[in-house]
Amino acid sequence: MASYTLKPLRVVRSIQQIRHYSAPLDNAIPASKQKYVPTSGTYPKGFLVSGTHVGVKPTNTRFPDLALITSETPCSGAAVFTKNKFQAAPVTVSREMLQQRNGKGVRAIVINSGCANAVTGKGGLEDAESMARTVDACFADPEAPASDTPAISSTIVMSTGVIGQRLPIQKILSQIPTAHSSLASAHSGWLTAARAICTTDTFPKLLSRSFTLPSSPHTTYHLAGMTKGAGMIHPNMATLLGILCTDAPIPPSTLSPLLTHAVSHSFNAISIDGDTSTNDTVAILANGAAGGPEIASSTSPDGLAMQETLTKFAQDLAHLVVRDGEGATKFVHIHVVNALSVAAARAIASSVATSPLVKTALYGRDANWGRILCAVGYTPGVEAGVIVPEKTSVSLVPVDGSEELKLLVEGEPEAVDEERAAGILESEDLVIRVDLGGGETGRGREEASWWTCDFSHEYVT
């Protein structure tokens, strides 16, 4: 069992979100977010996890801030890292490790919150390396001679928190054996680990799911994942971490493209490309503990099914980050359809999703399609012919299945039923649909989705 027990929770009944910047999450989850915290789960076989209190920030005297995710057997690993020019030490160390191993023989992921170990120079790299090595040592045969230490670590390292400060590395290293001895497979362990990676998040973000694959319909596979974000405006601007685990048998050569595809349509569709912090990392481990035939290719029937499952799962996880966006009171899906290219659809969806004018309008429950149109119109880098004012339509789509509310139809403003608009904008979930009408040729059929939250007062507090 984990050394830290999550329940009972103190529920904050006010809509006001309480945040402790760059400090571990308090033992309080806003009432409005309670529904996103699972009370049980079905977890992948052969994974053991824990969340442990270290006190990376001296002010944190009791909450878990070190997560350890391990596989009982060496497994495949892959990761997608930040594109920021300033990369934190754990990013550099983990990237090199995965390259050297070609994604094979990974055993663990260790994550600390409270300090990002970013812009910390050579000492920071040594700290990240020593975290990995200390986890490795927990798996080593204590009887084996020191010369048996493998040349390459088998542990992925992540850090999140304040930039520019060195880790209290001795404190962290001294608690890694405790983290190892606390490893467990139960739901409470997963939830404690998910909580340990939080910084300004108001709730731990954990999901699990079971699925089957076409070639082995009687084998049940599992996926579990945790994430943290709670970013400003573009969620990726605060550190975004994601950890995915599955007991499906996926070799590194398949795992890497599957993860890239999934992240591109999930974690990278809640922010603009390249708009990432120094530490952003999404990693996946696949240990094959559930058995069945190896997924040899991402384009085989099993591979395609796995891709769909993984992408949907990653989306659901990424959506939790949006729901916990600083100041978020709404979850908004920007859906751009009938575009001449996927790239253009993505760029336009991103432009609308990140427009502060749109976001404040949503918070203000203002069906101002002018702001949406304006954000469509200034999307940078869109080729000629993609956006044709006389072909552009904008609708609000309620999530209750009722009819869409047309705001603009082929460039002409609609007489909007303001009451209905206000009703749709009242709800927590909402879709804004931008139909480009096929562009200049009329033949565009590409689409893209982006997810965002509104902007509220709390954001600047």
Answer for which of 369, 447, 451, 453 binds a copy of itself (CB under 8 A) is 369
Q: Does 273 bind a copy of itself (CB under 8 A)?
A: yes
Could you tell me if 22 and 166 are in contact, meaning their C-beta atoms sit under 8 angstroms apart? no
Q: Is 405 in the site for a copy of itself (CB under 8 A)?
A: no
Residue 326 annotated as lining a ligand binding site? yes
Cα separation of 409 and 421, whole Å?
Answer: 16
230 near a copy of itself (CB under 8 A): no
d(CA 414, CA 408): 5
CA dihedral 95→2→311→332, nearest 10 degrees, is -110
Closest separation between CB of residue 138 and a copy of itself, Å?
A: 31
Q: Quick check: 274 binds a copy of itself (CB under 8 A)?
A: yes
In degrees and rounded to multiples of 5, residue 429 shows phi and psi of -110, 145
Count residues binding a copy of itself (CB under 8 A): 56
Contact 394, 434 (CB under 8 A): yes
Helices (H) and strands (E) in the chain, counts: 10, 16
For a copy of itself, the closer CB: 206 or 387: 387
Is 220 marked active-site?
no
Contact track, a copy of itself, 348-367, x by CB under 8 A: -------xxx--x--xx---
Phi and psi for 116 in degrees, rounded to 5?
A: -85, -10
Q: How many Cβ atoms sit within 10 Å of the Cβ of residue 316?
A: 15
Binding residue for a copy of itself (CB under 8 A) from 74, 257, 411, 423? 411
Task: Tell me the C-alpha distance between 68 and 398, whole Å.
Answer: 40
Interatomic CA distance for residues 12 and 4, integer angstroms: 21
| Spatial separation of the C-alpha atoms in residues 95 and 84, rounded to whole Å | 14
Residue 50 — φ and ψ, nearest 5°?
-155, 160
Q: Pick the stretch among 131-139, 251-259, 303-311, 410-418 that binds a copy of itself (CB under 8 A).
A: 410-418
What is the rounded distance in angstroms from the CA atom of residue 342 to the CA atom of residue 388?
16
Region label for 351, one of left (φ > 0), alpha (ψ between -120 and 50) or beta (otherwise)? alpha
User: Binding segment for a copy of itself among 50-58, 136-144, 270-278, 308-316 (CB under 8 A)?
Assistant: 270-278
Q: Which of 227, 239, 246, 276 is catalytic?
A: 239
* Residue 281 is labelled as binding a ligand: no
- Kindly state whether residue 378 participates in binding a copy of itself, applying the rule CB under 8 A: yes
Q: Binding to a copy of itself by residue 276, rule CB under 8 A?
A: yes
418 is in an annotated binding site: no
Cβ nearer to a copy of itself, comparing 269 with 284: 269
Do the annotations mark residue 239 as ligand-binding? yes
Q: Which residues are catalytic?
A: 239
Residues annotated within the binding site are 199, 228, 239, 326
Residues annotated within the binding site for substrate are 199, 228, 239, 326
Q: Which residues bind a copy of itself (CB under 8 A)?
A: 83-86, 116, 118-119, 121, 162-165, 232-234, 237-238, 272-278, 327, 355-357, 360, 363-364, 368-371, 373-374, 376-380, 382, 387, 389, 392, 408, 411-413, 455-457, 459-461
